[in-house]
Amino acid sequence: MIEIRGLSKSYGDYPALKNVSLSIRPGEFVVILGPSGAGKSTLLRCINRLNEPSAGEVVVDGTPFSSNRRDLRLLRRSVAMIFQQHNLVKRLSVLKNVLVGRMADLSPLLTSLQLFPEADVKIALHCLEQVALAHKARSRADALSGGEQQRVGIARALAQQPKIMLADEPVASLDPKTSRTVLGYLKSSSKESNIAVLCNLHQIDYALEFGERIVGLSGGELVYDGPPSGVSRDVVRRIYPGLDDPNVLDAAQRLHERRGRGTAEPVIQRAEGGA
């Protein structure tokens, strides 16, 4: 169980994130929707403290993490991240990029001499298998296509054997077909290993297709938390204030009516039962 309690972050006087709390069950696939500047990236980067939150804490399986060095390292061991621009080291091999996910546990000296325990290499190779790229293990990362590079990014996150993976717009720079493949691998591999996923997306259709739970963020505040079936025309309007695109609104509404057997969900409601 990953609990985010009262996370806030201000840049100067500008509040980017206002008192956001979420609890995420193991293996749950949560998609965060929200306009640019709503605080989606800030939320993720505050969870693993790439950005230091102004207030709030992250509790993993009952253990809260402070900001001291030891806690930080333990926190980052159980929280993996997938980036929009993959952030692979281009000149290194695919395998070595995935091994980066193991490094928190390994000797800095031995790894620097390019020596890795056999067991960790096996884990890395298995993670590559989960994204169907084991055959590319020896290729240089920059020899791969954009979609493949992002799959390596997923494998690197898997290699950490984390409790949760934070994915910051993982398909923002990919074409629609590749995007679906990548999101498919993200979902299947996380299910296989029972890792929770917190994924920022810009595409409402992917969010409703892949997400088991949707979190709407607008102006740094939680404005929706519920199942995809609850995302009605009104919810979309609430997440994207001023959005006046009939295509998007109608599509959401149609999906909502088709899937949602009940009425629209109230704001900020825990999703019951995994879809």
Partner 1 sequence: MSVGSLRFVVNPPRGALGWWILLPVGGAALAALWWSAVGTELSLSGLINGLPWIADFLGRMLPPNFAFMEKLIKPAVETIQIAIWGTLLGIVLALPVCFFAARNLSPHAAIFHGLRQVLNVMRGINEIILALIFVAAVGLGPFAGVLAIAIHGAGMLGKFFAEAIEEIDEGPLDALRAAGAGTLQRIVFGVLPQVLPAWVGVVLYRFETNIRVSTVLGMVGAGGIGFELISSMKLFAYEDTAACVLMILILVLGADLVSSKLRAMIR
Over the range 248-261, which residues count as b (16 or more CB within 10 Å of their CB) and which as e?
Answer: bbebbbebbeeebe
Of the residues 10, 19, 54, 111, which one makes contact with partner 1 according to CB under 8 A: 111
Q: Provide, rounded to whole angstroms, the least separation between the CB of residue 100 and partner 1.
A: 5
Q: Provide, rounded to whole angstroms, the least separation between the CB of residue 79 and partner 1.
A: 8
Inter-axis angle of helices 146-159 and 176-193, nearest 10: 10
3-state secondary structure of 274: coil
Side by side, the strands of the sheet bearing 63-64 are: 14-24, 2-11, 55-60, 63-64
Distance from C-alpha of 21 to C-alpha of 7, rounded to nearest angstrom: 6
Q: Which is nearer to partner 1, 91 or 177 (CB)?
A: 91
Give the Cα-Cα-Cα angle 83, 86, 89 (nearest 5 degrees): 125
Q: Provide, rounded to whole angstroms, the least separation between the CB of residue 140 and partner 1.
A: 10
Question: What end-to-end distance do the CA atoms of the chain give, in Å?
Answer: 17
The yes or no reply on residue 156 touching partner 1 (CB under 8 A) is yes
The yes or no reply on residue 164 touching partner 1 (CB under 8 A) is no
The yes or no reply on residue 172 touching partner 1 (CB under 8 A) is no
Q: Which is nearer to partner 1, 103 or 134 (CB)?
A: 103
Q: Strand pairing partners for 108?
A: none
The yes or no reply on residue 125 touching partner 1 (CB under 8 A) is no
Site string for partner 1, 45-64 (x = CB under 8 A): ---x-x--------------
The yes or no reply on residue 19 touching partner 1 (CB under 8 A) is no
- Strands (E) across the chain are located at 2-11, 14-24, 29-33, 55-60, 63-64, 79-82, 164-168, 196-200, 213-218, 221-226
In sign, the C-alpha dihedral spanning 251, 253, 256, 257 is negative
Q: Provide, rounded to whole angstroms, the least separation between the CB of residue 93 and partner 1.
A: 10
The one segment of 20-28, 70-78, 242-250, 262-270 that binds partner 1 by CB under 8 A: 70-78
Distance from C-alpha of 182 to C-alpha of 106, rounded to nearest angstrom: 29
The yes or no reply on residue 81 touching partner 1 (CB under 8 A) is yes
> Which strand (E) or helix (H) includes residue 152?
helix 146-159
The yes or no reply on residue 109 touching partner 1 (CB under 8 A) is yes
The yes or no reply on residue 87 touching partner 1 (CB under 8 A) is yes
The yes or no reply on residue 91 touching partner 1 (CB under 8 A) is yes
Interface ranges with partner 1 (CB under 8 A): 48, 50, 73, 76-77, 79-81, 83, 85-92, 96, 100-101, 103-104, 108-109, 111-112, 153, 156, 160
